[in-house]
Amino acid sequence: MSLIIPKNYKSSLSIIETQQAIKDLKDFFEQRLSEELKLTRVSSPLFVLPETGVNDNLNGVENAVKFNISSINKDAEIVHSLAKWKRMALKKYGFNLGTGLYSDMNAIRKDEEILDNLHSIYVDQWDWELIIKKEERTIDKLKEVVRKIYNVFKETEKHVIEIYPEIKKLLPEEITFITSQELLDMYPNLSPSERENKIVKEKGAVFLMQIGKVLSDGKKHDGRSPDYDDWELNGDILFYNPVLDSAIELSSMGIRVDEKSLAKQLKESNCEERVNLDYHKALLNGELPYTIGGGIGQSRICMYFLNKAHIGEVQVGVWPEEMIKECSNEKIYLL
């Protein structure tokens, strides 16, 4: 995706109104998400030691920002996400079945290939994790939780519009479920991003399932680290963004790997050496709870619900000078 300049764009809110709306929107969404999924807020790390295996490896090619801790002479990594840390924390903190945790996660993804309307090197999201029974590791359980989260999205939209009536309502009544293979079968001649745009423009809100597995064309719809989501039981929440006339991914989530799926996915990804890391040992030894979890982009939901054209309108970042000038000329004011 390259920079998109919507024709005749004008923000519904001023910069100061936007700042106020961001705070109100985040507070409301966070509270309702916590209530809906029975989550308790916890503190979380900004950095971890790489030898623990706790950091999220994303697509396997991104490099974490590293620095040396002089007092202990060890290198640490800025987290990419808390996908694996949360599962260990659930056990450590003594959470019970049917309850979970969430945290504010901040990350730096320095290898983000393209800076555009949706992508920056700074990531802020709510990372959440919920304990489930092993027999609940099913598509039905996944859909149940997705519907609960979607209900929070709808309530948030209603809340924002009540305060700022100039904001447009966008969400449909129901979210559509579809697998990445089904989407490929529908649009075999389109690229993954083009397929997403096509289905989301038609449906408005989509949960695209089974991300990370190889499809019938011999390719993956998108990459996913092999050691947190089960590729058969995960997905992305995608909304149609009419401001950009494209899909916007607001959440990546899924039922987490068990002992069997972890071993299988590590083998398929040629990452079997990870079994010697602390996190992977604990999981393979059955020491960690079975969970479902994910991340929900804070800046992205603000961008979506406030009808913004660029993520830089709702988060402070670093952008190419030419982008700043081009956006400013079109009344897109980057913070």
Q: Which sequence spans correspond to the domains of the chain?
A: 15-46+80-329
Nearest Cα neighbor of 177 from 118, 250, 104, 238 is: 238
In one-letter notation, the amino acid at residue 284 is L
Fold of 15-46+80-329: BirA Bifunctional Protein; domain 2 (3.30.930)
pLDDT given at position 80: 84
Give the side-chain half-sphere CA count within 13 A for 64.
24
pLDDT given at position 62: 72
Q: What is the pLDDT of residues 28-49, one digit of tens each?
A: 999 999 999 999 999 999 998 8
- Is residue 51 very low, low, confident or very high in pLDDT (cuts 50, 70, 90)? confident
The answer to whether 41 touches 49, Cβ cutoff 8 Å, is: no
- Is residue 61 very low, low, confident or very high in pLDDT (cuts 50, 70, 90)? low
- Is residue 310 very low, low, confident or very high in pLDDT (cuts 50, 70, 90)? very high
Once rounded to an integer, what is the mean pLDDT over residues 81-87? Answer: 88
Q: Which residues contact 195 (CB under 8 A, 6 or more apart)?
A: 183, 184, 186, 187, 221
Q: What is the pLDDT of residues 132-186, one digit of tens each?
A: 999 999 999 999 999 999 999 999 999 999 999 999 899 999 999 999 999 999 9
Instruction: Name the pTM for this structure.
Output: 0.93
Q: Which long-range contacts (CB under 8 A, 24 or more apart) does 55-60 make?
A: 55/79, 55/80, 55/84, 56/80, 56/81, 56/82, 56/83, 56/84, 56/225, 56/228, 57/225, 57/227, 58/109, 58/223, 58/225, 59/222, 59/223, 59/224, 59/225, 60/223, 60/225, 60/269, 60/271
Q: Is 256 in a helix, a strand, or coil?
A: strand
- Is residue 112 very low, low, confident or very high in pLDDT (cuts 50, 70, 90)? confident
In one-letter notation, the amino acid at residue 290 is Y
Q: What is the pLDDT of residues 185-221, one digit of tens each?
A: 999 999 999 999 999 999 999 999 999 999 999 999 9
Q: Which residue has the higher pLDDT, 320 or 112?
A: 320
With left for phi above 0 and alpha for psi between -120 and 50, is residue 231 left, alpha or beta? Answer: alpha
**Mean pLDDT of the residues in the chain:** 93
- CB atoms near residue 189 (< 10 Å): 6
pLDDT given at position 59: 60
For the chain, the farthest-separated pair of C-alpha atoms sits apart, in whole angstroms, at 58
- Is residue 64 very low, low, confident or very high in pLDDT (cuts 50, 70, 90)? confident
Q: Annotated catalytic sites, by residue?
A: 56, 109, 125, 236, 249, 252
Indicate if the pLDDT at residue 281 is higher than 60.
yes
